Amino acid sequence: MLGQVFGYSHFRGPQQAIVEHVVRGGDALVLMPTGGGKSLCYQIPAIVRQNAGHGVTIVISPLIALMHDQVGALLEAGVSAAFLNSTQTFEESSQLEKQLLALKLTRLYAAPERINTPRMKGLLASLHERGLLSLFAIDEAHCVSQWGHDFRPEYRSLSLLHETFPDVPRMALTATADHLTRLDMIERLKLEEAREFVSSFDRPNIRYTIVEKTDATRQLLRFIQTEHDGEAGIVYCQSRKRVEEIAAMLQDAGIKAMAYHAGLDAKLRQQRQDRFLREDGMVMVATIAFGMGIDKPDVRFVAHLDMPKNIEGYYQETGRAGRDGLPADAWMTYGLQDVVNQRRMIDTSEVASEEFKQVMRGKLDALLSLAEDTRCRRVSLLQYFGEDSQSCGNCDNCLNPPAVWDATDAARKMLSCIYRVQQASGISFGAGHLMDILRGKLTEKVTQYSHESLSTFGIGTDLAEAQWRGVLRQLIAKNMVRVNAEAFNTLQLLPDARQVLKGEVSVLLRQQALSSKPERSKRGAKTSVKGMAEAALNAGALERLARLKAWRGDVAREHNLPAFVIFHDATLRAIADQSPQSLHDLEGISGMGVKKLQAYGAEVLRVCMAPA
């Protein structure tokens, strides 16, 4: 089935064990990194179980774009599939419902909102009564958890699947969930008896880099131009306004870029998403409204201009890079203001409970610790998900090990200043004012509160303001200082600061906090991933590859699908390298299933054997 339909010679990781378990009718909770092959884990059981007479598989997904592309890919592979969503007319939906009841579909994709409608419940009940409801596959299942990074209330209604159809197997799949989120998923979806399959969260092809924010716009432009010129990427910003500004800046610099956020017309968002999926070398600048389920394999970088809310969100978003297994970059720039902004959004929420806020603060602190850690980024990241690993030799901290300095004296000055100001005034102040006091600046506010008389006034003239911001940011990461967003972003001491003030412990901080100069990378000259992948091809193979890509583009436009749905780049490179002379020569090439061989084999041979 794997080779015949999908054209692959072997399973990856735990795929085979998952498939066998679900085919036998078992419930499953599947955690597998983005690009790890989650969809195959329910696509193959859907085919096998239908062939065995168990009926139709229902795939629940929150994403219209993903439904469209996955259904398109399945149809290309010769599998009957369809989706029901809000883009269809009543007549189109009615026709699909008839096909469903007539068992003309192997699987049907639907959004969680659709599953909970009386009409859909009636369709499912009718199939169930006939013993023809085979499997429920719940994709992006972390959305059910309030502790997850992308909670969607409509997912809570999916508990009805167990209550209404207790004998129908269910599988929940996600790329990102910490221990707390997993427990919530199990409880909400009633999967207490499900077998858990947890793959390694490691994506060794992704290089993680986190840099101190100095001039974020210029830093981003330099990163794209020097590391990923002409390659596809995603840039995440926190606000819609910032998205528009960065997209315009990249366009002015000659980079193909578009803006995407929830404030745009739905039709325009869809058009831009389609362009991103179908065109080469496009950069999408977006809020987090963009990305979940984006199945574009050749995204070479994901950049964050603002710090995400938590590690789960960061991991999910960076995981959209390098889905083809080739080298990719996860690059982020952040500063003290990012910490303040994220803390403010948590603390000032009027709808969140105090328990929820406390959990979110802990998740934010974990991300801040990752950013400030001097260890291997991969070790820190995987440790968050409960996985041990070794230094990767490929992240920024491994390639350019950060120097540390004894910042005990600077830390005591900062902590003492926060304490003295609080003691003298009875109120707390923000970072800017504290730094003015440390650096001996007679501002209007300093004189208003007579803070020039404090013993800490002027004791920090040895460091610049940017350097003090680095010290403060790392003290926040070390849980010695907190930003009280409910009190105008004022600074307050935490219990861990006491030992430092008493001189009982020393404080080591990253040396980078003392320098605004960018680190020089040790990677050497940049070679594009495209160049690396095609370097082994001879001149004739490169000509065949160019013709194959042009042909694939024509077919994709004709079918209104992204080019990679027709054939992945890796499949085309293998064809170009082998220079097939017959249909038999095409058999066994990864990605060339039986249906695709029948549909495209002759054309592929024609393109390959065309005169140069």
How does strand 490-493 pair with strand 481-484?
antiparallel
Cα torsion at 550, 553, 555, 558 (round to 10°)? Answer: -130
| pLDDT, mean of residues 325-343 | 90
Please tell me what DSSP assigns to residue 311. H
- How many CA atoms does the CB half-sphere of 547 hold within 13 Å? 20
CB count within 10 Å of CB 282 equals: 20
The residues near 595 (Cβ < 8 Å, ≥ 6 apart) are: 5, 76, 77, 78
Give the 3-state secondary structure of residue 178.
Answer: coil
- Own/partner pairs for 605-610, CB < 8 Å, 24+ apart? 605/580, 605/581, 607/544, 607/547, 607/548, 607/551, 608/544, 608/547, 608/548, 608/575, 608/576, 608/579, 608/580, 609/581, 610/547
Return the pLDDT at 145: 86
Cα torsion at 206, 212, 215, 217 (round to 10°)? Answer: 20
pLDDT in tens, 491-546: 899 999 999 999 999 999 987 544 444 444 444 445 666 566 666 788 899 999 99
Domains of the chain and CATH, by start: 2-198 (3.40.50.300), 206-334 (3.40.50.300), 405-514 (1.10.10.10), 536-609 (1.10.150.80)
Distance CA 280, CA 78 (A): 27
- Closest Cα to residue 507, out of 540, 480, 528, 525? 480
Distance CA 241, CA 286 (A): 10
Return the pLDDT at 210: 95
H-type alpha helices, 108-150: 112-115, 118-129
| pLDDT, mean of residues 21-36 | 90
Residue 195 forms beta bridges with which residues?
28
Name the residue with higher pLDDT: 149 or 314. Answer: 314
**Res. 427: pLDDT tops 60:** yes
Q: Which residue has the tokens 């259904």?
A: 71
**Res. 259: pLDDT tops 90:** yes
Helix 569-578 to helix 594-609 angle, to the nearest 10 degrees?
50
| pLDDT, mean of residues 568-586 | 92
Helical (H) or strand (E) element with 245: helix 240-252
What mean pLDDT, rounded, does the chain reach?
Answer: 89
CA angle 8, 12, 14 (to 5 degrees): 135
Return the pLDDT at 196: 95
Number of helices and strands (H, E) in the chain? 28, 17
Give the 3-state secondary structure of residue 481.
Answer: strand
pLDDT in tens, 230-250: 999 999 999 999 999 999 999
CB count within 10 Å of CB 94 equals: 11
**Res. 311: pLDDT tops 50:** yes
Distance CA 371, CA 211 (A): 8
Helical (H) or strand (E) element with 342: helix 336-347
Residue 56 forms beta bridges with which residues?
133
Return the pLDDT at 534: 65
The residues near 14 (Cβ < 8 Å, ≥ 6 apart) are: 32, 197, 199
**Res. 583: pLDDT tops 90:** yes
CB count within 10 Å of CB 444 equals: 7
pLDDT in tens, 453-484: 999 999 999 998 888 988 998 998 888 998 88
Q: Are the CB atoms for 210 and 279 separated by under 8 Å?
A: no
**Structure tokens given for 32:** 């597998």
* Whole-Å CA distances, 235 to 224, 286, 332, 527: 10, 6, 9, 21
Q: Kindly state the percentage of the chain with pLDDT values over 70.
A: 95
Return the pLDDT at 529: 64
Band (252; pLDDT cuts 50, 70, 90):
very high
Give the pTM. Answer: 0.83
Name the residue with higher pLDDT: 206 or 336. Answer: 206
Band (610; pLDDT cuts 50, 70, 90):
confident
Handedness of CA 157, 162, 168, 170 (dihedral sign): positive
Please tell me what DSSP assigns to residue 326. S
Tell me the residue type at 518: P
Name the residue with higher pLDDT: 478 or 225. Answer: 225
Minimum mean pLDDT among 120-129, 138-147, 513-522: which range? Answer: 513-522
